[in-house]
Structure 1
Amino acid sequence: MARIMWKAVAAGGAALVLTGMAAMPAGAAEGGVSFSRVSVNGGKPITIGVKEMVKVHATFRMTTTLRHNSGPTVFPYRGTTENPETLWNVIESSDCKVVDRAKGICDYNEWLYIDPQDLDFGNEDAGTWRTAARVFLPGDSQDIDDVNLPLQVKRATRLTVDASPEPVATGKTITVSGRLTRANWDTHTYQGYAGRGVSLQFKATGASSYKTVKTATSNATGSLRATVKATGPGTWRWTYYGNSVSGASSSGGDHVATQPRALHSASPRVMHSA
């Protein structure tokens, strides 16, 4: 059975999705609980766009013989465990999968939902977060620990590509253009991402992977442009490898066919009779 926790609940049971600062319930932290084997998003960065709610899978183990309320959770946080800024809107967690009943060892699966359209969510939320694990205990107390697991939260990027002319004669010049944009969580739009090194890649027809041919730097509007020689038919794309606050992305591929270079015969010689 899955259990669902909302960040806050309004009168009448309507859900409020609040991503910013969230005060912990009253009650001092308790000992006697430990968390281990914590994994969030498979160790990969959490990359978020501008509209779609992101679903993040997490797993962890809790060990305790104390009585506790259902639904221990792990989640990204900044600040201190006593007064953290948290990054989640809804958490759905599994029941305990018993590992050792006598020792109180349970494994859990969890799904965190993060909504980029939440009013408290903005560009300042990109970067490094820490991971907290928490369980509520009777009497309005809780155990909350930092589990020493950094998380990277990144703004999504997008790329487009256009290669021309199509088809092109072998050995002639191809111009490959495109545009790199990045999610702006303040305006909920994608905007040009300037000054980024982006790799132009080519996959020859029949090949299994792309190879980088050259790099280009995005201009003030995020636009990209490069010229290359056509060596044969294949597919062109742009790839951006990301940074500490921006996710990696690749454009779709633009296939360009090639045709043999035209042969030009010499002009016939004219013979004049004497």
Structure 2
Amino acid sequence: MRKARMGRTVWSAVAAGGAAVVFTGVAAVPAGAAEGGVSFTRVAVNGGKPIVIGVKEEVEVPASFRMTTRLKYDFGPTVLPYRGKLETGDRLYSSVITSDCEVVDKANGVCDFKEWLYVDPRSLDLGNEDAGTWKTAARVFLPGDAYDTDDVNLPLQVKRATRVTVNASPEPVAAGKTITVTGQVTRANWDTHRYQGYAGRTLSLQFKAAGASSYTTVKKATSNSTGSLKTTVKAAGPGTWRWTYYGNSTSGAKSSTGDYVAVR
């Protein structure tokens, strides 16, 4: 059974001169835990997009929310992904920075907050089975070792990052001749902290003609057991080729960089 992934939480004022406070979270419910008296609304995480995580790079996840309470609180509030039970389940974050309150209604204790949540796959006990749907919790710590934690009914998609490469040849090529386009699609393995070939994936081969502003799908191909791709097309004119993978419920979408082929 994987331990709850709780991280160091940093509350830092966005306004100049704001002092940072450091708090180390724990998974256990402390004595005097409180529910009620605090409400969280207008919660948005990562602009509604999936949280896509690789094997080394720390991911920054922006969030925003509104908190309403007349209660005093010790530390800045936060929203975060969780799985399992609200109080004791897994949390997915390494650190969090939350802004100071932007007052909306002082008399009723209404504040808007911005947040930056960081996920570092190198410091979390993250496994491949953790890809998928998570929930969102909102929490604030109150005086006397109490806190208020709510489920804000916002599902979050957490996905393994993919990488895609491309190579189109020959370069240049005569008009009407065959171009061979190869590449590879790989996916982050959170168990081994490496990228590995992603087999059986259907990718779109796309072309952007010289002078055009967008890509058009020309054909599709399926990756082999090592994630490799290969297909052929006829050279109709100069332009840029790329592979695009549209992702699935556990894997992020990704396009390769473009490979320009001159046609003479």
* TM-score between both structures, scaled by the size of structure 1: 0.87
Could you say what secondary structure the match of 1:72 adopts?
A: strand
User: How far apart are the structure 2 equivalents of 1:225 and 1:4?
Assistant: 53
Report if the CA contact (8 A) 2:94-2:124 is conserved. no
Could you say what secondary structure the match of 1:52 adopts?
A: coil
User: How far apart are the structure 2 equivalents of 1:140 and 1:30?
Assistant: 12
Larger radius of gyration between Structure 1 and Structure 2: 1
Task: Indicate the residue corresponding to 1:113 in structure 2.
Answer: 118
User: How far apart are the structure 1 equivalents of 2:116 and 2:183?
Assistant: 35
Of 233, 236, 252, the match for 2:238: 233
Task: Give the number of aligned pairs.
Answer: 247
Report the AA paired with residue 137 of structure 2: A
- For each residue in 1:167-194, what CA deviation from the matched residue of structure 2 results, as whole angstroms up to 9, or x when unmatched? 1111111110000001111111110000
Divergent runs of 4+, >6 A: none
Task: Indicate the residue corresponding to 2:207 in structure 1.
Answer: 202
1:257/1:70 Cα in 2 relative to 1: closer, same or farther (>3 Å)? same
Task: Indicate the residue corresponding to 1:44 in structure 2.
Answer: 49
Report if the CA contact (8 A) 2:76-2:100 is conserved. yes
Could you say what secondary structure the match of 1:71 adopts?
A: strand
Q: Does 1:184 align with 2:196?
A: no
Q: Percent sequence identity over matched residues? A: 71
Task: Indicate the residue corresponding to 2:229 in structure 1.
Answer: 224
Q: Which moved more, 1:192-201 or 1:109-118?
A: 109-118
Of 58, 63, 66, the match for 1:58: 63
Q: Does 1:146 align with 2:151?
A: yes
| 1:119 Cα offset (Å) | 4.8
Of 130, 135, 144, the match for 2:140: 135
User: How far apart are the structure 1 equivalents of 2:43 and 2:124?
Assistant: 29
Could you say what secondary structure the match of 2:75 adopts?
A: coil
Report if the CA contact (8 A) 1:4-1:92 is conserved. no
User: How far apart are the structure 1 equivalents of 2:163 and 2:117?
Assistant: 24
Report if the CA contact (8 A) 2:82-2:136 is conserved. yes
1:168/1:183 Cα in 2 relative to 1: closer, same or farther (>3 Å)? same
Where does the alignment leave 5 or more consecutive residues of structure 1 unmatched? 9-20, 260-274
Of 72, 82, 91, the match for 2:87: 82
Task: Indicate the residue corresponding to 2:254 in structure 1.
Answer: 249
Task: Indicate the residue corresponding to 2:75 in structure 1.
Answer: 70
Q: Give the root-mean-square deviation of aligned CA atoms.
A: 1.4
User: How far apart are the structure 2 equivalents of 1:205 and 1:6?
Assistant: 54
| 1:70 Cα offset (Å) | 2.5
Report if the CA contact (8 A) 1:179-1:223 is conserved. yes
| 1:137 Cα offset (Å) | 1.4
